[in-house]
Amino acid sequence: MSTEVTDVLRATDLLSSASAADLEAIAAASRLRTFRRGQILFTTGDPGNTLIVVISGRVKVVVRSADGGELTLTVIAPGGVFGELSAADGGPRSADAEILEDCRLLFVPHEVIQDLCGRAPSVAQALASSLAASLRRLTEEASDLVFLDLPRRVAKVLLSQPRDDDGVIGQKMTQEEFAHRVGGARQSVNAALRGFERRGWIQVHNQAITVKQAAALSRFAGD
């Protein structure tokens, strides 16, 4: 396995405290696979026997209704990890995962993570902290869906995205992807973005969004 893989493992919050020997052992026991955009990685109820590390590309984790509705729970970028819940309890997948961009993914067996947690308390603590952070985030987002209107949910998503020094959001999102993030219709997202642009809070150009007045967005969202 390449040094790139062990470098990515070392950079994750989950495995940053693991020894070099443990990282090499994890890499050796894992499978590196390539996926194309649009592929379904797993669906709700599938066996959860691996932890997944994103080496390159992006993956979205979603829940879907019987009538085709979709809510994006999170988007995993390079260096990100997902599947921690199944790694912790060995249970089935609790959501669907779909490839957003061509990806290389590392599949770490559940048993490898369990063994490492048993030998390295710092890794076990990191896994617990990751699960706690996910629970806090999902609790907040569930509250937002109930108590905030769609424009305010859009504002919070905008503020949550990584931005450069000029306020440009790093990852472009289509309005459909945005709608899946906030649990609304694409037309409603478009209306919210246009409203923010008229106020001078953001600038939209070819799907690239620049946050011009983060403080105004934050006040609007109620943060």
Token readout for 56 is 């390159």
Q: List for the chain the helix, strand, coil content (%; round to 5).
A: 45, 25, 30
Among candidate residues 64, 101, 53, 58, the one with its CA nearest the CA of residue 76? 58
Are 87 and 159 part of one and the same domain? no
Model confidence, pTM:
0.83
- Residues 6 or more apart whose CB falls under 8 angstroms from that of 127 comprise 14, 84, 87, 88, 113, 117
Structural domain including 24 reads 3-145
Share of the chain above pLDDT 70, in %: 99
- Residues 6 or more apart whose CB falls under 8 angstroms from that of 212 comprise 167, 200, 201, 202, 203
Cβ atoms of 205 and 184 within 8 Å: the answer is no
Are 35 and 56 part of one and the same domain? yes
Token readout for 217 is 């967005």
The pLDDT tens digits for 180-219 are 999 999 999 999 999 999 999 999 988 789 999 999 999 9
Cβ atoms of 15 and 9 within 8 Å: the answer is yes
Q: State the total domains in the chain.
A: 2
CATH number at residue 64: 2.60.120.10
Q: Does the pLDDT value for residue 1 go beyond 60?
A: no
Cβ atoms of 77 and 57 within 8 Å: the answer is no
* Residue 30 pLDDT level (bands cut at 50, 70, 90): very high
Are 24 and 104 part of one and the same domain? yes
Orientation angle between helical segments 20-29 and 110-119, nearest 10 degrees = 160
CATH number at residue 173: 1.10.10.10
